[in-house]
Every structure is written in C-alpha cells, then in structure tokens.
Homo-oligomer: A and B are copies of this chain.
Amino acid sequence: MPDSSADLLAAVADCIGPELAEVEKLFHLELASGFKCVDALVRHVSRFRGKMLRPMLVLLTGKACGKLTPSHITIATVVEMVHMATLVHDDVLDEAELRRKGATINHLRGNESAVLLGDYLISHSYHLCSSLDSQMASRAIARTTNQVCEGELLQIDNRNNLDLDEKTYTQIITHKTAVLCAACCQLGATLAGASADTISRMERFGLSLGIAFQIQDDILDILGHTSQVGKTLGIDIEKGKMTLPMIHFMKTAPREHRELLRSLLTIHEPDQVEKIRNLILPSDSIDYARNQARQYTQQARRSIAGLPDSPAKDVLDAMADFVICRTI
C-alpha cells in the first residue's frame, strides 16, 4: 500500500491515469459555451479544480468491480461537476475569501455570478448525465443532489446551535458530503456490471469514506493554517457551525472550559478563531474526532475486503487511509 500522498497519486495515475485525462477533456467539452462571458467564467472556475476524489471513486470502483465503460467517464465527469457546483455555491454560503490559494468567484465577480455559475455547472452535470442510455444514473444523481441540499439546509438550520448533538452532526455530514461519495461508488460498480450485493457494499464503502473525509475536513478547519491548506480556515467557527471536535468538547470538557467556549462562540472577536483553537487543542476532542474518522475508515475498508485482489482495490484501500491522514 502506498505510504505517502505522492505515492498514492502515482498509484492512481498508474491505475486510471488515461481515464482521468478523458474526464478532464469531457469536463471542458461539456461546459464550453457560445458566449465569451460564460467561457471566461468557466475558465476561471477550472483553476480551482481539486483532487478529483469523486471521479477517482467512480473509476477505481468500476475497475475494482469489472471493466470500465464510456459511461464511467461520463459519470465521473458528472460527479466532478456536481461537486464543483457545491463548491461555487459554498462560496456564496461561506463568504470564504480564499479557496485553493485563489480568489473565489464571488470575491471576483459578486454573489450573483457565483450563484449562476453554480447553476450552470449543476445544469450541465444533469445535461451530461442525461446523455446516457438509461435514466438509472440520472435518477441516482438527482436523488443524491436532493440529499446534499437537505444536508446543507439542515446545517444552516443548526447554525449557532451550540448544543448540536453528534447524531445530528453525522446526519448533516452524511447528507452534505457522504451521499455523493456513496453515489460515485454505487454507480461505478453498477456500470461495471457488479452484483446487487457488491453494489451495496461499494455504496457503503463510499458512504463511510465520505463521512471520514468530512470529519477530517472539519478537524483541518480548526488545526490548519491558510498558507498550508490554501483556503480560509476557522470558517466553521466564524459561521457558527459546530463540528465534531467542538461537539465533543461541549460534552466532556470541564464546566468552566465549556462556558468559555460558549462565550467565545457567541461573542465574535477578531481573534475568536485563535482563542477557540487554543482552548480545544490541549483537550482530547481533536483525538476523539480523529478516532471517529478512523472507525469510519475501517468500516469502509471492511466493505471492500471481499473484492477480488486488484491494483484498483489496493488504491481504494489506500484512499481510505489517505482521507484521514491528509493535511490538505
């Protein structure tokens, strides 16, 4: 199994490099517009492309379960567009000023362009998806985006809810993040002709992996530095989002520490994020969250244990590890 993120990327490239390049090509082909102003905006968003985690899940799952088909390339492109749309709309939501070391769309062009560019991406994702023969994938993708919206709305509804419990937190991150990863793996397996049982295992793999990924994201929001992670940190705190380390802290820390956190979360000071970080770091709440993420990772790995040995299976296994070790 690869032991660093560079090794992991090399293993991914070995396994599905040409297919990822096809996804990249289809992404640009689908988004091309006859209007120059639309193309300029799309070019701008392309610079923010991320790790392509979701296309990788479609392609690796497909390869681990059978043979890749042209439909895999289509769906891998669709899920990347869906993910990009949520990133662009999150910029409206989060008022983040930096994302991946570049200015955000809303910073450069205003909220209106950010909303419309997100709409353009989501519209093209459905458009591309509807080019497949059957409605199966369209139905699965739309059901998934329904849930993503519910997760985001549930999150907003619980903004500044300092008593958010772990169960609701898990519901939020399952909906807003994990269901899309689950759909990637479910569709990757389905399009490779896997059995119903294998499809269901792969879906569970994606779901567990997605939950672990989001917990780690939430940990990094507290721990990281802008220079390192390349996006504004402490956003969750500033936006009143309670994440797992804070939820655990509010349940287990000494009473005076909990009251301090409560007052820090309520009164917005310039060094609020720094103070909260310094309060939580010495506690065991980060470790608790890490441990929860690890358990989801182990669940994910158990879900694919029964697959026949293959390089794709090894890479999926390594990805499960990567999502909780990563600092980016």
Contacts and interface: CB of A to CB of B under 8 A. Distances in A.
Interface of A: 33-35, 37-38, 41, 89, 92-93, 111-113, 115-120, 122-124, 126-127, 129-135, 138-139, 141-143, 145-146, 148-150, 152-154, 156-157
20 contacts: A34-B150, A37-B157, A38-B150, A92-B112, A93-B112, A93-B115, A113-B156, A115-B115, A116-B152, A117-B153, A119-B145, A119-B149, A120-B149, A123-B142, A127-B145, A127-B146, A130-B142, A131-B139, A132-B135, A134-B135
A146 B33 CA distance: 9
Please name the 7 residue pairs, one residue from A and one from B, whose CB atoms are nearest each other, closest first: A127-B142, A37-B157, A130-B138, A120-B149, A123-B145, A130-B139, A126-B142
A193 to B, nearest CB: 20
A35 B135 contact: no
A188 B153 CA distance: 34
Contacts of A118: 115, 119
B120 A92 contact: no
Nearest to A149: B120
Nearest to A154: B35
Main SS at interface, chain A: helix
Given A122-B122, A123-B142, A130-B135, 8 more contacts: A37-B154, A38-B150, A89-B115, A115-B115, A123-B148, A127-B143, A132-B135, A138-B138
A41 B153 contact: yes
Contacts of A41: 153
A242 to B, nearest CB: 16
A120 B150 CA distance: 8
Contacts of A116: 89, 93, 149, 152-153, 156
A238 B96 CA distance: 27
A133 B130 contact: no
A306 to B, nearest CB: 31
Contacts of A89: 115-116, 119
Contacts of A123: 122, 142, 145-146, 148-149
Contacts of A93: 112, 115-116
Contacts of A92: 92, 111-112, 115
A124 B142 CA distance: 7
Nearest to A31: B146
A35 B127 contact: no
Query: Which of A111, A119, A133, A141 gathers the greatest number of chain B CB atoms within 10 Å?
Result: A119
